[in-house]
Amino acid sequence: MNSTPKILFLSHYFPPEVNAPANRTFEHARIWVENGAEVTVMTNVPNHPHGTIFGGYENHYQHEKMSGINVFRLKTYLTPNAGFFKRIMNYIVYMVRAIWFGRKMKDVDVIIATSPQFFCGIAGAILSKILNKPFILEIRDIWPESIISVGMLKNSTVIRILESIESWMVLSSKKAVAVTKGIEQHLQILGHQDVIFIPNGVLVSRFGTDKAGPDEKTLTIAYFGTIGLAHNVEIILKAAERLGYNKKIKFIIAGDGSERKRIEELSQNLDNMTLYPLLTREELISLFRQIDVGIVPLKDNKLFQGALPSKMFEYFAMTKAVILSVPEGEATQLVRENNCGLITFPENDEDLAHAIEKYANNPDLCRLHGVNGRELVNNEFDREQLAQDLLQIISSECQIENDESLT
């Protein structure tokens, strides 16, 4: 077998969608292709988050080439990123169609699936048995625990069933890829013997460099990303309301999600707040240059102690300081050890407002944290290197599988 494998990658999201899993999957696949691998991605027709098909696409099976990647798009059950049961139906339809079409793909060395949602992982596990190929499972968030933690699932019988399916899916994989140490530990507790840590990161070369810290007239605070139940974006509005007297401090929120409408309603009377819709990557990078500090908020839930939000690394890549409003854990430890941001109590808008004022009153500290954050991603979280590390692991697994088949 060639040392560069033929990869079938299952992902619910893919560009032109612009969320974190779409970006991670695309950037990994593109880098793998540049390093000689053949990559086929099986995904949905682009429609996230509104359930509306992107221009240039139709809702039927179709094939395209994107940066050397073979992309197969499946007919999709269209639904906005809101409403629990319709979203579950969207996930299940993808799973069934991925299995149905994937079973015909014979020229494959390895199957990779990224979860959540974990129905994508189930499709990968089943396909690996049908095609008799090794299965690598990437876990970016823990299901069903993550939806239980935000109150979206409470039925104990359903929870037990989903936990049993989760365990089967995880243990079906030859290797499991964890993006945080917390997820790595969770997979080991489930009994997986071969877990690899490949964290979230950022393609540093795409972001270039930017000035660090504010000028003497303004301090612009931003949140870019999903506006969902877990993200607690409302705390930013409350902090903005507390700081309304300070005309030097401005706020930006850009993104979409299940809580977007409510955030719009709550922000109507805030003169220091500007809301942007979901933006393209190019538009977002342009907006990054207008800000000084990025906020990373999460609900105060122990599940998020092991979170390493991908947006944090994008702020760092643009030489921006961060304020974490998250439970104590991996992210807070990383920021403290590298002196690249401030940490506040989660769900405490008064503490968040104090941190923002600290940067407003000390521009040099803000600049220092931004420079340190850029150095951190350069050294440890550049996706170019992380993707190559993962490809080496994939190639090694395929070679082992090939050697075993010859004995």
Residue with structure tokens 């705390």?
235
* Residue 121 contacts residue 169 (beta carbons within 8 Å): yes
Question: Distance of CA 359 to CAs 238, 248, 293, 340, 342, Å?
Answer: 18, 11, 9, 12, 9
Query: Domains, the chain, ranges and CATH?
Result: 6-201+383-406 (3.40.50.2000), 204-380 (3.40.50.2000)
Q: How far is CA 191 from CA 66, 124, 145, 194, in A?
A: 37, 19, 17, 9
pLDDT score recorded for residue 372 = 97
Residue 230 near residue 146 (C-beta atoms within 8 A): yes
Residue 271 β-bridge partners: none
302-321 per-position pLDDT tens digit: 878 888 888 899 999 999 99
Spatial distance between the Cα atoms of 55 and 260, rounded to a whole number of angstroms: 22
Q: What is the pLDDT of residue 407?
A: 47
Q: Quick one: the chain helix, strand, coil %, rounded to 5?
A: 45, 20, 35
Asked if residue 305 has a cis previous peptide bond (ω within 30° of 0), the answer is no
The pTM for the full model equals 0.86
Q: Tell me whether residue 129 is exposed, middle or buried, using C-beta atoms within 10 angstroms of its C-beta: 0 to 12, 13 to 18, 19 or more.
A: exposed
- Tens digits of per-residue pLDDT, 373-393? 999 999 999 999 999 999 999
Give dist(CA 192, CA 210) in Å, integer: 42
| Cis previous bond, 15, omega within 30 | no
Please report the pLDDT score of residue 86 as a whole number: 87
In this predicted structure, what is the pLDDT of residue 1?
Answer: 38
Rounded CA-CA distance 20/152 in Å is 21
Which residue bears the tokens 């935000």? 150
Closest CA to 341 of 232, 246, 358: 358
Mark the ranges of the chain whose per-residue pLDDT is less than 70.
Answer: 1-3, 82-83, 143-155, 209-216, 400-407
Alpha helix (H) residue ranges in 150-227? 156-171, 181-189, 204-207
Within 8 A by CB and 6+ apart from 180, the residues are 197, 199, 200, 306, 307, 308, 330
C-alpha distance from residue 363 to each of 213, 273, 360, 388 (Å): 6, 21, 6, 37
Residues 46 and 54 sit within 8 Å (Cβ to Cβ) = yes
